[in-house]
Amino acid sequence: MNWRLIDTGELDGFSNMAFDEALLESFDPEKSLPVLRLYGWNPPAFSIGRYQKAEEVLDLEKCRANHIPVVRRITGGGAIYHTQELTYSLVCTQKHLPGSLNVKESYKKISFFLIMAYRSLGLDASYALENKNNTEMKLGVKTPFCFAGKEEYDIVIQGKKIGGNAQKRSRITIFQHGSVPYRQNLDYSSSFLLTPLSPEEKESTDLFSQTGILSPEDFKQKILSAFSENLSISLIETELSSNEKALYEKILNEKK
């Protein structure tokens, strides 16, 4: 099976969210090839979950003073500070995934490519539910900051959460995106929260902390290899279609 691959490089937060929305809205479940998108963030930005109120989570005045945009995702979850990271998004249907999977199973199946990529670096990555390093890890606790809480199928390395993933579904279409932090700078990003994080809530990690010097381009290739192997598919690099581009520009104008 073939999937499209779109690598849009580093964009500002509004452009990144407009791209994700355009890919989802233009996707035809009967005709479209499934798509994987890779991207980065420049300048750094906060994204908040679909149902969050930014003014209840972030010090917006401090964000403005530090020229940090705040954008809204189309998925739920807590606030995320996007800086040095690799972000992915994908659009597909159930028929593009191996087996008959419910929501939780599809989320687990899709996200496993990240565990494969981490393990290819020699890291002991697993789902939080399967983590053996901390039998008392609290799961399912909702927090306003994404990296502070752990769900069953969040990915952990040595008991520490790395990145975050979220899924949005319609009757047929599946949209999922997530981030892999190279360096998360948690002390800095959490200083913009209205409620300080406890020491326990700061138990997250990034690739630099786990591996030392790491080439983002090399890791991107590991991500692509793992994604293809996980779903037994081939990736074909493409550009946006004319319809996708027109929709992207329309959504972007509305956001700005």
Whether pLDDT at 224 is above 90: yes
Which among 204, 174, 198, 26 has a CA at the least distance from the CA of 103? 174
Q: How far apart are alpha carbons 133 and 47 in whole angstroms?
A: 30
Catalytic status, residue 146? yes
- Give the list of residues 6+ apart from residue 127 with CB closer than 8 angstroms, or none: 108, 115, 152, 153, 154, 155, 156
Q: How far apart are alpha carbons 33 and 224 in whole angstroms?
A: 17
Task: Give mean pLDDT, residues 172-200.
Answer: 89
Whether pLDDT at 137 is above 90: no
Phi, psi of 158 (to 5 degrees): 50, 40
CA dihedral 242, 244, 245, 248 (to 10 degrees): 160
Whether pLDDT at 135 is above 50: no
Q: Does domain 2-121+165-195+217-255 have CATH number 3.40.50.300?
A: no
Share of the chain above pLDDT 70, in %: 91
The pLDDT value given to residue 93: 94
Q: How far apart are alpha carbons 92 and 234 in whole angstroms?
A: 14
Which among 75, 154, 173, 71 has a CA at the least distance from the CA of 115? 154
Mean pLDDT (the chain) is 89
Quick one: pLDDT band at residue 184, thresholds 50, 70, 90?
confident
Query: Residues 147, 164: contact at Cβ < 8 Å?
Result: yes
Q: How far apart are alpha carbons 200 and 183 in whole angstroms?
A: 19
Quick one: pLDDT band at residue 134, thresholds 50, 70, 90?
low
pLDDT tens column, 18-77: 999 999 999 999 999 999 999 999 999 999 999 899 999 999 999 999 999 999 999 988
Q: Given 38, 146, 156, 180, which residue is catalytic? A: 146
Range picked from 111-125, 138-152, 155-169 for highest mean pLDDT:
111-125
The pLDDT value given to residue 148: 53
Lowest mean pLDDT among 84-88, 156-160, 220-224: 156-160
For the chain, which residues make up each domain, given as ranges? 2-121+165-195+217-255
Whether pLDDT at 125 is above 90: yes
Task: Tell me how long the chain is.
Answer: 256
Whether pLDDT at 92 is above 90: yes
User: From residue 14, how far is each of 18, 248, 249, 254 by CA, in Å?
Assistant: 6, 11, 11, 10
